[in-house]
């Protein structure tokens, strides 16, 4: 600013002590927007932070999904918000803690992802680092919006342009998620990520290429684009896994903190008891418990995330086979559907350590499309128990409303009170 | 911004051109050199008034009276009529008309000045740009003689102001030595920032932060405590918008300027004052002395022995102070030097305050037109503190008197180990006093250098640089093995470094043309603040040692800030026939804390003073019955700085992933359009003199509207942020101030002066962008809501019957109505003071000050905990133990917060001072000019209905929003001091 030159001049001319003439004082305590978004080291650190931000909130999607589908039950009297999800209906209001947290943590990730997508092209970076950062931004934005539209009927999808973002419906949001994932795929196909990106930015255990494909398959299937889902799923390397990184100090697994350390809730025993006899996945997820929940339901103990550095898989290999099975089934290609379904039923383990170890189904067992879909739904319930997908599944497979305590979450009060664009709450 | 920027940039240049132009106009006339002489004496005694100030109005020419009261003014002027004004501190100014003509020698003769017992004709400088007689001001400026401050023998300079300034709410928040005073001038004008006024010493802005470096439960001192009351010559308090022109974006809370003593003409004067005193708690709680621990119905009831642990906490506290000063000088050089050593115990065991204070002031004429004034002040203090006031944390000494059942023996065992008390998470108060330490050290230097030049007869230029630098270092040390959550020990060290630098350039030009007088003041200021805070702490200490390096698990944090403020102002005062004065001023401030596009802010002001009694017809109409009458009105705008230095920035915080450092954006969005909170004030007032100034009355009504208040506005979470600090709130303060002073009796035997001040302020939040909210650290009690006063109390009430009596349950216990409502208001309706001064035969002086506040509520959380059955230390709870009240009575009552909101109105005998001055053969024989013995009592008694220790204290210290919150805070002690002053 021109002012400052004059001020500095005045300072030096008139004053005995000329310290601190500058009116544009920078904040030495924390990096500012201008410093982070315009420098290579700042923008790389932002990409690192974004992954942690996403990883901190993986419990919320699971909680919404599994409470609303009646698989979880709260334990202590104090966890009122979660109990509201458990009882559902009009108990869940805009002030509910999870309703607000799910929304705000996901939008914090989306904000960071948008900052990456917008600013990475302006920062001097090696090409492969740039493509990796942009693809990472698009993937995390897509995953975050994707999870939001499993819970909320309408969502904002572009947020940095206004302080009162506008909402789009679920179909538009889903199209947007798919296009983001397709762009991300193109970005890294055109310019493969650099070694610097892979070893210094991308989280340990996170597989960028396969995650983009898996998410594309997941959301294409949810949209009903079975061919796109199949193509994407076929591209996923089933020998690989992709997971969020946690350690015992600075980034602890939130599922460990809530389900093992604090024990806010437990899975209801009926999930275990309604499993097919001999299903190996039951013991993977839970172990029989003796306690009863706050509402006096028999509950089991969690058998996963038992340490604070336990991984959280962003998708499971079994989901990919089940996506294929469902896409074939919905295309009425029951033979291929059966093949993919049996891969999941019969595997005794996989790279994530999950194996049902069940017998294969025959064509006779699944005589029609509905029977195939029913079986696929059941397999998803056991294969993907703690993945945050059960609520969407329950709706997509047309399960009766009584299976769910609510279909959709209301919009958070914090949003409604400050954003006039917030739509009316869904009825149920 | 550009217009403001241009004003800012070119305003100064235009001003100087104007000044030179008027000077040239004058220069064209024929000028001659005159020598004007005269003598100034005391009208009563006829003695010379050494150092009296004589000025030639409308020019910068002037002189001081010498040892014989004689003065000589040398000035080159155009011939014509002039007025010579003779003034001296404590005397009424006398103006003599002279005609400058052919003769170069002009003799004014003997001018005798009358004592100004009621301080009617004072000259003030704060907020006015240049020294201005009060008559000319359109706004009220309160003044206080330094002797009133020193003779109050208050623990700190600001505490001495209690009751002495109309319209000021001065509240000592804690009886802990080492400071902790809140001052509100015409109410609270901010929500999110500090509401304390701007303090200025000899023109230099000084820091008055309350730096809470370690957590002592809410208690924290403020840095005005460093200043020495003995060095004060005079205090000026500007409460309203009048301060705008000089202090712009920092003036919303008003300005308190302190002038320190300076040398005077004559032989060196030495003053030695020594004092010793003792303080004690004025009132304690009656405690539960029941021989049983549980009610009769409880079959686990057992016999217990109870102790009143207040006896282990409070003590008789001793204090002493030695002060030595020397001052003197000749026509060219004057000096004042002083040193003070203070030692003061607190009434709570293990608390005390040691302070050393040095000051040197020098005035030196470099030549006939250039004067240098310098001041240097060094302070060192060491305060031993204990936690108290459980508003943040449960380790306080009085806190645990309330929390730990008094049947539990807290005394250490044979090994000196203190038992862990039964109520988990809280400390053993005996151990806290005996073993834990929390010292605070302050090293501070305040310096100033001022050049005053009068190069031309009508122009004076002033350049001032001020420097305030201190380091405040706080420790908290808890050895390994301590109770209450510190089993592995804890050591913390926190340091706050502050540097504040101010540069001011001011030009004053006066010009008289026929009946009109013009005074133009313009100036430029630069202010720089730098602060660094470092906090390091360790746990898992080795035995015995408690320094930082004896711990294993360490954490450290640092915070740095820099603020820069530029300002320039231009003020014009036009006077007509010494009866009508019109002032207008503009100030432009630029601050680094504001957003770039809102960086330059304009603050205008205008005021009018009409001295009707100077009209010729007045004397014939009203005569001496209403001998003086002045009407005044002032309008102005000022600003308030945001609490945070960097609120305009969006910042990123650390968040690592895969063991690599990463960043995520803060949940608070920076505000690029941040601007000051803006206050617009209008005040209307009148000053009267009755019966030839035997009674003086000042009455003022004011209305302050503050808009653009900085509040955290909630943002839609879908933006990725939770909030933004934004200029969205509005509030108002309306009130009146009344000051009545009178000479009740004045003859050779007795002089009796009485003064009464009353002020009323109504505070109301008029616009809050979001919903009502509870202030932090108030347990949800102190709230901010539209239509209510700041920090009003909010909580649950009793269930009541139609006739208002309590609706008891079947067992006869009170019940709570779970719907929360307004319960009270901690802001006083009226602030009153009644002061009487008697002087008998010039030797015996008696000063009696009653002051108080009426209509405010206090939330007594201490009583709530004392009568809560789980702890049950209060006398009240005995009633449940002896079966007088049903079991569960107090358990129900403790949930009803209405019960604990009490009327906090009080009137205290704040000061009683009896002095005897000896100046006879005996003192002369000792080589003394005189000797004075004085006995002072402070806070001797309080007339109130409050059930707790003291309705005046506040557990949240100098908090803006949390007021009137009594939670185990140290009360103000009753103090007796005996002092001896030797004047040499």
Q: Has residue B227 been placed in a domain? A: yes
Tell which residue, B732, B529, B716, has the closest CA to residue A100. Answer: B716
Which band of pLDDT confidence, cut at 50, 70 and 90, is reported for residue A17?
very low
CATH numbers and ranges of domains, chain A:
41-242+262-402 (1.25.40.390)
Instruction: List chain B residues with CB under 8 Å of A200.
Output: 660
The better pLDDT of the pair B373, B67 is held by B373
Q: A336 burial class (0-12, 13-18, 19+ CB within 10 angstroms)?
A: middle
pLDDT attached to residue B263: 93
The answer for B 895-954 residues in CB contact with A (under 8 A) is none
Whether B426 is covered by a domain: the verdict is: yes
Tell me what pLDDT residue B89 has.
79
Q: Who among B465, B650, B653 is closest to A16 (CB)?
A: B465
Contact B887, B297 (CB under 8 A): yes
B94 forms beta bridges with B86
User: CB contact, 8 Å: B465 with chain A?
Assistant: yes
How crowded is residue B904: how many other Cβ atoms within 10 Å of its Cβ? Answer: 27
Picking from A151, A170, A171, the residue whose alpha carbon sits closest to that of residue A106 is A151
For B714-730, the pLDDT digits (tens) are: 899 999 999 999 999 99
Instruction: Determine the Cα angle at B401 with ends B397 and B404, to 5°.
Output: 115
Is the alpha carbon torsion for A8, A12, A15, A21 positive or negative? positive
CB B187 within 8 A of CB B763: yes
Asked if B717 lies within 8 A of A100 by C-beta distance, the reply is: yes
Q: Is A210 left (phi over 0), alpha (psi -120 to 50) or beta?
A: alpha
Closest residue in B to A161 (Cα–Cα): B719
Question: pLDDT-based confidence at B483, cuts 50/70/90?
Answer: confident
Count of CB pairs separated by less than 8 Å, A with B: 197
Chain B residues lying within 8 Å of A103, measured CB to CB: 717-718
> Which of A55, A101, A108, A411 best tests the B interface by mutation, with the highest count of B CBs <10 A?
A108
Give the one of B5, B592, B661 whose C-beta lies nearest to A45's C-beta: B661
Instruction: Find the CATH number of the domain harbouring B460.
Output: 2.40.170.20
HEC string of B555-579 equals EEEEEEEEEEEEEEEEEEEEEECCC
Question: Do residue B656 and residue A52 have CB atoms under 8 angstroms apart?
Answer: yes
- Residue B939 forms part of a structural domain: yes
CB < 8 Å to A6, chain B: 9
Percentage of residues of chain B with pLDDT beyond 70: 96
Q: Is A37 helix (H, G, I), strand (E, B) or coil?
A: helix
Q: Residue B119: which region, alpha, beta or left (left: phi > 0; alpha: psi -120 to 50)?
A: left
| B739 vs B857: CA distance, rounded Å | 25
Closest alpha carbon to B358 in B342, B379, B383: B379
Better-scored residue on pLDDT, B487 or B484: B487
From residue A388, give the alpha-carbon distance in Å to each of A321, A353, A381: 17, 19, 11
- List CB contacts (< 8 A) between B528 and chain A: 19-21
Residues of A in contact with B666 (CB under 8 A): 30
Give the model's confidence band at B140: pLDDT under 50 very low, under 70 low, under 90 confident, else very high.
confident
Structural tokens at position B410: 């807290």
Question: Which value does ipTM take for this structure?
Answer: 0.91
Contacting residues of A for B563, CB less than 8 Å apart: 25
The pLDDT value recorded for residue A13 is 47
> B530–A20: do the CB atoms touch at under 8 Å?
yes
Contact B717 A412 (CB under 8 A): yes
**Which residues make Cβ contacts (< 8 Å) with residue B328, sequence separation at least 6?**
B263, B264, B265, B266, B267, B268, B269, B334, B335
Q: Which of B968, B977, B978 is nearest to B175 (CA)?
A: B968
Q: Is pLDDT at B403 greater than 50 in this prediction?
A: yes
Contact call for residues B107 and B38 (beta carbons, < 8 A)? yes
Of B560, B664, B771, the CB nearest to A53: B664
Amino acid B52: pLDDT: 87
Q: Is residue B977 part of a domain?
A: yes
Q: Give strand ranges (E) for B189-316.
A: 198-201, 204-206, 232-238, 255-260, 266-280
Q: Which residues in chain B touch residue A165, judged by CB atoms under 8 angstroms apart? A: 716, 718-719
| Best CA proximity match to B249, nearest among B521, B711, B584, B602 | B602
Residue B367 lies in a domain: yes
**Residue closest to B285 by CA, chosen among B761, B730, B949, B984:** B949
Task: Tell me which chain A residues have a C-beta less than 8 angstroms from the C-beta of B535.
Answer: none
Report the distance separating Cα B253 and Cα B244, nearest Å: 11
A-facing residues of B in 548-577 (CB < 8 A) are 558-564, 566
| pLDDT score of B308 | 96
Q: What SS3 class is residue B201?
A: strand
Average pLDDT estimate for B750-778? 92
State which H helix or E strand residue B722 sits in: none
- Cβ distance A418 to B566 less than 8 Å, yes or no, reads no
Q: Could you tell me if residue B778 is inside a domain?
A: yes
Percent of chain A topping pLDDT 70:
95
CB contact under 8 A, A29 and B660: no
Kindly determine whether residue B503 and residue A15, on different chains, have CB atoms separated by under 8 Å: yes
Helices (H), B585-708: 616-621
Among B12, B126, B954, which residue's Cα sits nearest to residue B523?
B12
Q: pLDDT averaged over chain A?
A: 93
Given an 8 Å threshold on Cβ–Cβ distance, is A23 in contact with B564?
yes
Which tokens go with B608? 């009018």
In the structure, what pLDDT confidence band is assigned to residue B76 with cuts at 50, 70 and 90? confident
Strands (E), A212-293: 242-244, 265-267, 286-287
Quickly state the pLDDT bin for B486 (edges 50, 70, 90).
Answer: confident
Beta strands B782-784 and B773-774 are: antiparallel
Based on the structure, what is the number of domains in chain B?
A: 1
**Contact B9/A6, CB-based, under 8 Å?**
yes
Taking alpha carbons only, the member of A357, A359, A339 closest to residue A348 is A357
B195 belongs to a structural domain = yes
Q: Which pLDDT score is estimated for A15? A: 46
pLDDT at site B220: 92
Contact between chains at B657 and A52 (C-beta distance less than 8 A): yes
**Phi and psi angles of residue A111, each rounded to the nearest 5 degrees, phi first:** -60, -45
The verdict on a CB contact (< 8 Å) between A6 and B560 is no
Q: Are B789 and B805 in contact (CB under 8 A)?
A: no
Q: Which of B8, B555, B658 to mutate to test the interface with A (most CBs of A within 10 A)?
A: B658
Read off the pLDDT of each residue in B623-639 and give the average, rounded to a whole number: 91
Is B86 domain-assigned? Answer: no
Count of helix runs (H) and strand runs (E) in chain B: 11, 49
- Packing angle between helix A80-87 and helix A97-119, nearest 10 degrees? 100
Q: What pLDDT, in 10s, does the model give residues B153-184?
A: 999 999 999 999 988 999 999 999 988 999 99
Question: B696: part of which helix (H) or strand (E)?
Answer: strand B695-714
pLDDT at B14: 54
In the three-class reduction of DSSP (H, G, I as helix; E, B as strand; rest coil), residue A423 is classed as: coil
Q: What is the pLDDT at residue A2?
A: 46
Q: What's the average model confidence in pLDDT over A411-421? A: 92
Q: Residue B745 to residues B738, B748, B836, B838: CA-CA distances in angstroms?
A: 22, 10, 11, 9
Residue ranges of B 476-505 with Cβ closer than 8 A to chain A:
501, 503, 505
CA-closest candidate to residue A226, choices A331, A134, A318, A155:
A331
* Chain B positions in Cβ-Cβ contact with residue A111 (cut-off 8 Å): 665, 719-721
Which of B567, B718, B771 is most worth mutating to test chain A (most A CB atoms within 10 A of its CB)? Answer: B718
User: How far is residue B348's CA from residue B174's CA, in Å, rounded to a whole number?
Assistant: 11
Return left, alpha or beta for A353; rule: phi > 0 is left, psi -120 to 50 is alpha, else beta: left
Distances (CA, A) of B685 to B124, B131, B739: 18, 21, 11
Q: Is A29 in contact with B717 (Cβ distance < 8 A)?
A: no
Which among A15, A152, A204 is the top mutation candidate for probing chain B, defined by the most B β-carbons within 10 Å of its own β-carbon? A15
Mutate to test the interface with B, among A13, A48, A168, A421 (most CBs of B within 10 A): A48
- Say which of B501, B599, B770 has its CB closest to residue A19: B501
**Average pLDDT, stretch B725-742?**
95
Cα(B546)–Cα(B538) distance, integer angstroms: 9
A96: tokens are 């509910």
Tens of pLDDT, residues A91-149: 999 999 999 999 999 999 999 999 999 999 999 999 999 999 999 999 999 999 999 99
CB contact under 8 A, A23 and B660: no
Predicted pLDDT of residue B247: 87
Of B422-426, B559-563, B692-696, give the range with the top mean pLDDT: B559-563
Torsion over CA: A206, A210, A213, A214 (sign): negative
Domain enclosing residue B599, as ranges: 141-791+826-856+904-983
Q: Which two tokens stand for residue A376?
A: 């696929």
The pLDDT assigned to A19 comes to 46
For residue A30, list chain B residues with Cβ-Cβ distance below 8 A.
Answer: 651-653, 666
- Taking contacts as CB-CB distances below 8 angstroms, the residues of chain B near A52 are 655-657, 662, 664
What does the pLDDT look like over B881-913, one tens digit per residue? Answer: 999 999 999 999 999 999 999 999 999 999 999
* Contacts A160 to B, Cβ<8 Å: 719-720
Q: Does B186 touch chain A (CB under 8 A)?
A: no
Cα A129 to Cα A47, A49, A142, A180, A207, distances in angstroms: 11, 16, 20, 18, 15
The minimum CA-CA distance between B448 and chain A, rounded to whole Å, is 12
Distance from CA of A361 to the nearest CA of B (A): 42
Residue B425 has pLDDT above 90, yes or no: no
Is B268 within 8 Å of chain A by CB? no
Q: How far is A79 from chain B (nearest CA, A)?
A: 21
What is the C-alpha to C-alpha distance for residues B774 and B772, in angstroms, rounded to an integer?
A: 7
Query: Does residue A34 have a pLDDT over 90?
Result: no
Check A245 against B662: CB less than 8 A apart: no
Q: Which residues pair with B131 in a beta bridge?
A: none
Question: What distance in Å separates residue A385's CA from the closest CA in chain B?
Answer: 26
Q: Tens digits of per-residue pLDDT, B26-46? A: 445 577 888 999 999 998 888
Dist CA B889 CA B869 (whole Å): 9
User: Residue A18: its pLDDT value, please?
Assistant: 44
Closest by CA to B384, choosing from B476, B311, B486, is B476
pLDDT digits (tens, 9 = 90+) for B648-672: 999 999 999 999 999 999 999 999 9
B374 near A CB under 8 A: no
Q: How far is CA B635 from CA B583, B602, B681, in A?
A: 10, 14, 6
Q: What mean pLDDT, rounded, does chain B reach? A: 91
Span B459-482, pLDDT tens digits: 889 999 999 999 999 999 999 988
Of A24, A201, A205, the CB nearest to B592: A24
pLDDT tens digits, residue range A151-196?
Answer: 999 999 999 888 899 999 999 999 999 999 999 999 999 999 999 9
To probe the interface with B, which of A45, A53, A118, A206 has the most B CB atoms within 10 Å?
A45
């Amino acid at each position: 600013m021109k002012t400052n030159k004059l001020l500095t001049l005045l300072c030096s001319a008139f004053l005995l002590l000329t310290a601190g003439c500058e009116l544009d004082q920078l904040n030495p305590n924390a990096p500012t927007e201008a410093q982070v978004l315009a420098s290579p080291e700042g923008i790389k650190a932002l990409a690192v932070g974004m992954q942690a931000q996403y990883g901190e909130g993986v419990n919320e999607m699971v909680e919404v999904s599994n409470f609303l589908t009646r698989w979880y039950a709260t334990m202590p009297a104090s966890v009122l918000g979660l109990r509201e999800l458990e009882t559902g209906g009009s108990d869940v209001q805009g002030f509910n803690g999870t309703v607000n947290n799910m929304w705000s943590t996901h939008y914090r990730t989306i904000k960071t992802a948008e900052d990456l997508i917008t600013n990475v092209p302006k920062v001097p970076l090696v090409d492969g680092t740039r493509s990796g950062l942009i693809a990472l931004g698009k993937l995390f934005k897509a995953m975050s919006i994707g999870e939001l539209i499993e819970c909320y009927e309408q969502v904002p999808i572009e947020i940095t342009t206004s302080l009162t973002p506008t909402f789009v419906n679920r179909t538009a949001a889903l199209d947007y998620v798919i296009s983001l994932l397709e762009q991300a795929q193109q970005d890294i196909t055109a310019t493969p990520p650099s070694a610097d990106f892979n070893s210094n930015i991308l989280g340990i255990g996170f597989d960028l290429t396969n995650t983009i494909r898996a998410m594309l398959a997941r959301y294409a299937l949810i949209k009903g684009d079975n061919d796109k889902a199949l193509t994407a799923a076929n591209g996923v390397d089933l020998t690989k896994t992709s997971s969020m990184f946690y350690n015992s100090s600075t980034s602890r697994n939130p599922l460990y903190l809530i389900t093992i350390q604090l024990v806010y809730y437990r899975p209801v025993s009926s999930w275990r008891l309604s499993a097919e006899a001999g299903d190996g996945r039951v013991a993977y997820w839970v172990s029989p418990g003796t306690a009863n929940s706050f509402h006096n339901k028999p509950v089991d103990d969690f058998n996963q995330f038992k340490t604070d550095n336990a991984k959280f898989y962003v998708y499971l290999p079994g989901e990919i086979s089940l996506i294929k099975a469902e896409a074939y089934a919905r295309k009425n290609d029951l033979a291929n559907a059966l093949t993919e379904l049996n891969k999941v039923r019969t595997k005794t383990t996989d790279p994530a350590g999950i194996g049902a170890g069940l017998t294969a189904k025959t064509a006779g067992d699944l005589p029609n499309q509905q029977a195939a879909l029913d079986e696929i739904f059941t397999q998803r319930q056991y294969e993907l128990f703690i993945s945050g997908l059960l609520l969407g599944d329950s709706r997509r497979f047309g399960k009766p409303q009584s299976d769910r305590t609510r279909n959709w979450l209301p919009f958070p009060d914090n949003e409604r009170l400050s954003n006039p664009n917030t739509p009316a709450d869904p009825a149920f | 911004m550009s217009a403001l920027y241009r004003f800012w940039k070119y305003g100064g240049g235009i001003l100087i051109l104007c000044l030179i132009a008027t000077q040239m106009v004058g220069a064209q006339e024929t000028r001659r050199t005159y020598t004007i002489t005269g003598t100034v004496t005391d009208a009563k005694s006829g003695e010379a008034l050494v150092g009296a100030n004589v000025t030639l109005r409308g020019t910068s020419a002037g002189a001081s009276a010498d040892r014989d009261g004689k003065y000589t003014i040398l000035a080159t002027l155009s011939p014509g009529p002039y007025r010579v004004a003779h003034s001296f501190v404590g005397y009424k100014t006398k103006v003599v008309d002279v005609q400058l003509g052919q003769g170069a020698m002009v003799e004014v003769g003997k001018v005798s000045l009358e004592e100004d017992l009621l301080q009617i004709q004072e000259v003030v400088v704060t907020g006015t740009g240049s020294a201005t007689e009060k008559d000319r001001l359109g706004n009220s400026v309160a003044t206080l003689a330094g002797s009133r401050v020193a003779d109050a023998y208050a623990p700190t300079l600001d505490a001495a102001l209690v009751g002495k300034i109309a319209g000021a709410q001065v509240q000592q928040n804690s009886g802990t030595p080492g400071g902790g005073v809140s001052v509100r001038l015409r109410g609270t004008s901010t929500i999110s920032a500090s509401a304390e006024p701007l303090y200025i010493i000899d023109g230099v802005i000084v820091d008055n932060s309350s730096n809470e470096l370690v957590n002592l439960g809410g208690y924290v001192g403020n840095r005005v405590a460093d200043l020495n009351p003995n060095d004060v010559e005079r205090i000026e308090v500007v409460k309203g918008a009048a301060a705008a022109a000089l202090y712009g974006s920092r003036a919303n809370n008003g300005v308190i300027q302190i002038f320190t003593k300076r040398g005077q003409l004559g032989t060196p004067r030495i003053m030695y004052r020594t004092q010793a005193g003792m303080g004690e708690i004025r009132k304690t709680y009656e405690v539960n002395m029941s021989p049983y621990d549980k009610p009769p119905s409880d079959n686990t009831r057992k016999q217990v022995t109870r102790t009143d642990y207040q006896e282990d906490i409070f003590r008789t506290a001793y204090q002493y102070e030695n002060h030595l000063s020397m001052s003197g000088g000749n026509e060219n050089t004057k000096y004042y030097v002083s040193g003070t050593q203070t030692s003061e115990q607190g009434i709570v065991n293990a608390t005390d305050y040691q302070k050393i204070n040095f000051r040197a002031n020098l005035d030196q004429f470099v030549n006939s037109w250039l004067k240098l004034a310098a001041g240097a002040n060094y302070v060192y203090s060491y305060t031993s503190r204990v936690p108290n006031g459980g508003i943040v944390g449960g380790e306080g000494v009085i806190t645990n008197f309330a929390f730990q059942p008094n049947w539990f023996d807290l005394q250490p065992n044979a090994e000196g180990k203190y038992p862990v008390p039964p109520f988990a998470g809280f400390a053993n108060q005996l151990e806290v006093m005996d073993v834990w330490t929390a010292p605070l050290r302050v090293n501070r230097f305040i310096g100033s250098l001022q050049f005053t030049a009068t190069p031309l007869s009508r122009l004076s230029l002033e350049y001032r640089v001020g420097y305030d630098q201190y380091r405040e270092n706080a420790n908290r040390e808890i050895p390994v093995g301590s109770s209450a959550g510190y089993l592995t020990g804890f050591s913390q060290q926190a340091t706050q470094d502050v540097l504040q630098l101010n540069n001011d350039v001011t030009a004053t030009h006066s010009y008289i043309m026929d009946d009109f007088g013009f005074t133009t003041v313009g100036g430029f200021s630069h202010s720089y603040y730098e602060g660094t805070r470092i906090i390091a702490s360790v746990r898992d200490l080795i035995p015995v040692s408690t320094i930082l390096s004896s711990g294993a698990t360490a954490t450290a944090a640092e915070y740095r800030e820099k603020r820069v403020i530029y300002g320039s102002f231009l003020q014009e005062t036009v006077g007509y026939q010494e009866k009508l004065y019109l002032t207008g001023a503009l100030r432009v401030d630029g601050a680094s804390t504001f957003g770039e596009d809102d960086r330059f802010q304009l603050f205008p002001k205008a005021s009018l003073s009409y001295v009707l009694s100077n009209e010729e017809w007045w004397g014939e109409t009203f005569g001496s019955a209403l001998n003086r009458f002045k009407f005044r009105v002032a309008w102005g705008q000022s600003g308030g700085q945001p609490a945070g230095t960097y609120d305009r920035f969006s910042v990123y915080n650390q968040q690592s992933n895969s063991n690599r450092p990463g960043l995520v954006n803060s949940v608070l969005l920076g505000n690029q359009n941040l601007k000051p909170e803006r206050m617009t004030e209008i005040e209307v007032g009148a000053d009267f003199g009755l019966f030839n100034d035997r009674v003086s009355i000042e009455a003022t009504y004011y209305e302050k509207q503050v808009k653009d208040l900085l509040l955290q506005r909630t943002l839609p979470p879908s933006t990725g942020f939770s909030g933004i600090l934004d200029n969205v709130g509005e509030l108002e303060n309306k009130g009146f101030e009344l000051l009545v002073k009178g000479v009740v009796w004045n003859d050779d035997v007795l002089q009796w002066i009485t003064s009464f001040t009353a002020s009323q302020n109504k505070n109301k939040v008029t616009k809050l962008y979001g919903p009502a909210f509870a202030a932090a650290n108030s347990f949800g009690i102190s709230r901010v809501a539209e239509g209510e006063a700041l920090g009003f109390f909010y909580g649950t009430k009793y269930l009541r019957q139609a006739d208002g009596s309590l609706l008891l349950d079947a067992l006869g216990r009170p019940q709570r109505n779970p719907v929360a409502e307004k319960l009270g208001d901690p802001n006083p309706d009226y602030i009153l003071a009644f002061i009487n001064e008697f002087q008998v035969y010039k030797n015996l002086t008696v000063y009696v000050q009653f002051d108080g506040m009426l209509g405010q509520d206090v939330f007594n959380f201490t009583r709530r905990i004392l009568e809560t059955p789980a702890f049950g230390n209060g006398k009240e709870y005995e009633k449940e133990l002896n079966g007088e009240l049903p079991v569960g009575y107090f358990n129900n009552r403790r949930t009803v917060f209405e019960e604990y909101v009490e009327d906090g109105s009080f009137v205290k005998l704040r000061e009683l001072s009896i002095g005897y001055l000896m100046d006879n053969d005996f003192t002369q024989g000792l080589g003394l000019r005189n000797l004075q013995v004085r006995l002072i009592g402070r806070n001797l008694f309080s007339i109130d209905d409050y059930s707790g220790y003291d309705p005046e204290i506040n557990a949240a210290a100098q908090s803006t929003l949390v007021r009137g919150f009594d939670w185990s805070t140290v009360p103000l002690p009753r103090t007796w001091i005996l002092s001896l002053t030797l004047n040499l």
